[in-house]
Structure 1
């Protein structure tokens, strides 16, 4: 999904054309120093979208991959300044990440959860992608991590076509982009169960509970008619492992069994941990077989079975999943701009990206296992897809940065209503979401939570809005109850698909 969604990317329209947006998907590796001489290999994944010739911006995540801190994960936003040299084959850059999270080590290690990362580096552009490195500094200001180290990086550059604001495809005749210039993609909501055999132990040495139920999202991008890349992120919402989270990257291949029915094989690796699940340094590997059935031009259902293993520990499980997803094509853009007449046959899908701050206020005596009288402040991202001018699907991922709740994260999906007020820039939004949460000592039971929000927004321009909301969040099988105050900066964008 991150290949498609820029944050404050500049896609300026000039007359009847739309400028394409250069971007890159970056992997970094930092070997960070922790107290008492401990080392933690930190894998970073970032999608950077060019605002102009020297500035990029986008979402980012970091997770422990090597060491003793599996499940130490942060989410946030990154920005970078860059200067190209030697006929654009070499680049120097400097950047900053602001995010939140934590993991094994709790608030003693991550404090409230706020993470800052600064870097100064360079990269060489090649036909296989861009290779780079430099010096980084990772800082948890109210925690125990303050580390300088070298880093290495790999980037996959690409170009996408997204218009800022709300745009529509014109109704006149034009030359439609052909099938060979399309990028095929899938996005799905995932409900997964791990069935864990006897003999698997938790991180604290007890017998691991026999099931973990997870909820999350998956995005696939096809490299040709059969081969695809996949990214998935899921969190525990049932069992006894609340706070467990995983982010996986993989490669797969599909076979068409009959019209609309596909058999898929894939394998992934990534970072995982939390919830007392024994993931060692954090590396996890899985293999999956899936059966997909198309339910129409865009919708599909999919079931899968697989096997997951942590190489360092005894953790292993048989994995079963059900997915409901959306299949679509986007223009595969190679030029600097595209005429709107070339988009005949595509639909204009309207999205709103929100950079969000939330504060949890105590609404039950035992809502936390420690620091029960402290509020919890969170940072994160929300994405809204407008099915209609007044109705949208929404998803959010947030992590604690203040309130001694480092390692708390939540991922929710749901729906909302958007009501403009009397033709003015003011509007009312209301939404209901469900999903997974855990970590940081918040008493969320197995991890399943729900949240309702309502509030007032102001549309400053076609692109930008400011939204304030008040809500309530609860864990049906835990003591967690909180009043929620949210403030979001929204950015409207249009994605062309069919």
Structure 2
């Protein structure tokens, strides 16, 4: 009898373990790729060609089609500070094991630097031939640009691109907030190597340097440009990482300055991993707000010191330079930030031991904003439209932190852009788990396009709802008010868009 009871208990415990394992959300994989491309745009009159370079991230929808987002910036010519944001869609079809054809379309908005961008809306179709080298691919071909909303930038040109596979693992958004112990995760599909990512929100100061003959010194008298922005880094080894950094001016000069950097660095930890020293170098594009950066190409050497505050949160202080290669634009950089490290999507690590994991929700929102009667500094008042990208990271099921960037695409303000951050709150799903109501307040830098934002600081509260379409997509709409400090922009707005939502496993 004892033997029978023992066998029964053994079978039952095995079934219970299997049942526990089943409640751990399944790990899914998404194929995707990052792309860097370059094209030379022919400008009217006597302006030289504008070198236009883009950073894109595209999801493979199936074996042959993709969709995603991209940001472009000027890096040569005389239009430094010209930036755009847009959406991508295309078809990528292999004709052999290594050769492929890529036909795609980009729609976006933006402008700047006194360019004839009109309202900012533009299209950029392309047809390329590519070759896959396994770990990366290159492609080149025909493209066409047209700033069609009253702009005067259009024409055909050659483009070249570099693509890198950059997929990710995820689970359904509904798993967000669920927590599991290490033993349960060990028996699941998440029993793989973890990946490290960091996100930093920071304030940066660029003190304009140079001798008395420097055009920026003459114009701004060695002023300090005060910036707000974020930096996203991903680690491909214990010490080496790559990063994307985006900043916008909110004080010190007239609104409109912005810079975007892509680069890499080395991370050294000591003091039992409570203190870090990071050396970084990035290249990118910047300008606007009357700052002279010539073609817009900038370099960014930097060293940072980080000190742990609690858990995975660090205080960061950085010192470096932001400058053009010939020092036409030359600044000394000093900043402070709050950085959050995440070990994600795996339970195996050589540096750390984990006790549990929690699924964190993330939302990527692409939307169209409409500002009613947006006030201008000089031009007649009219509506302003802009394309916008917002990313939400859940702190728990009802509170999230958020960041947003937007670029004008209709309304005669092509150079206008925003970079803002904030907090939001949401309800639990209602009406058969289809509808969520939310409210949020954001603030940060904005300027350009003759929109009256003073030195560039805006506050932007809003409320709205989202309606679930499937496990990864929702329709989203909101209404709110935008107010500029020191400027006349004080207007209601509405927006609508699509929300892509998922969750990832964060280890503790």
TM-score for the superposition, normalised by structure 2: 0.87
User: In the alignment, is residue 348 of structure 1 matched against residue 359 of structure 2?
Assistant: yes
Asked whether the equivalents of residues 209 and 240 of structure 1 are also in contact (C-alpha less than 8 Å), the reply is no
Match of 2:376 among 361, 368, 379: 368
Asked whether the equivalents of residues 227 and 445 of structure 2 are also in contact (C-alpha less than 8 Å), the reply is yes
Number of aligned positions between the proteins: 471
Asked whether the equivalents of residues 241 and 277 of structure 1 are also in contact (C-alpha less than 8 Å), the reply is no
Asked whether the equivalents of residues 279 and 312 of structure 1 are also in contact (C-alpha less than 8 Å), the reply is no
1:332-370 Cα deviation digits (max 9, x unpaired): 79xxxxxxxxx994321112221111111137xxx3123
Task: Tell which deviates more after alignment, 487-496 or 172-181.
Answer: 172-181
Asked whether the equivalents of residues 466 and 477 of structure 2 are also in contact (C-alpha less than 8 Å), the reply is yes
User: In the alignment, is residue 131 of structure 1 matched against residue 145 of structure 2?
Assistant: no
Structure 1 residue 160: deviation in Å? 0.9
TM-score for the superposition, normalised by structure 1: 0.88
User: In the alignment, is residue 191 of structure 1 matched against residue 215 of structure 2?
Assistant: no
- 2:312 corresponds to which residue? 298
CA distance in 2, matches of 1:309, 1:488: 37
- 2:147 corresponds to which residue? 140
CA distance in 2, matches of 1:299, 1:185: 12
Consecutive unaligned residues of structure 1, counting only runs of 5 or more, are 1-12, 334-342
Consecutive unaligned residues of structure 2, counting only runs of 5 or more, are 1-21, 348-353
User: Cα distance 1:205–1:305, how it changes in 2: closer, same or farther (>3 A)?
Assistant: closer
Structure 1 residue 169: deviation in Å? 6.7
Give the 5 Å matches for 1:475-486. 475-486=484-495
Structure 1 residue 128: deviation in Å? 5.1
User: In the alignment, is residue 451 of structure 1 matched against residue 456 of structure 2?
Assistant: no
CA distance in 1, matches of 2:358, 2:500: 20
User: Cα distance 1:178–1:482, how it changes in 2: closer, same or farther (>3 A)?
Assistant: closer
Give the 5 Å matches for 1:98-109. 98-106=107-115, 109=116
- 2:396 corresponds to which residue? 388
Structure 1 residue 201: deviation in Å? 4.8
User: In the alignment, is residue 406 of structure 1 matched against residue 414 of structure 2?
Assistant: yes
Give the number of the structure whose residues are more often helix, by fraction.
Answer: 2
User: Cα distance 1:392–1:284, how it changes in 2: closer, same or farther (>3 A)?
Assistant: same
1:454-491 Cα deviation digits (max 9, x unpaired): 12333344433223222111111222212111112222
CA distance in 2, matches of 1:480, 1:208: 28
Task: Tell which deviates more after alignment, 194-203 or 22-31.
Answer: 194-203
SS in 2 for 1:243: coil
Task: Tell which deviates more after alignment, 268-277 or 462-471.
Answer: 462-471
Runs of 4+ residues over 4 Å off in structure 1? 168-171, 176-180, 200-205, 420-424
CA distance in 2, matches of 1:211, 1:31: 32
Asked whether the equivalents of residues 201 and 208 of structure 1 are also in contact (C-alpha less than 8 Å), the reply is no
Give the 5 Å matches for 1:115-126. 115-126=122-133
CA distance in 2, matches of 1:164, 1:407: 38
Match of 2:321 among 291, 307, 328: 307
Give the 5 Å matches for 1:28-107. 28-36=37-45, 38-87=48-97, 89-106=98-115
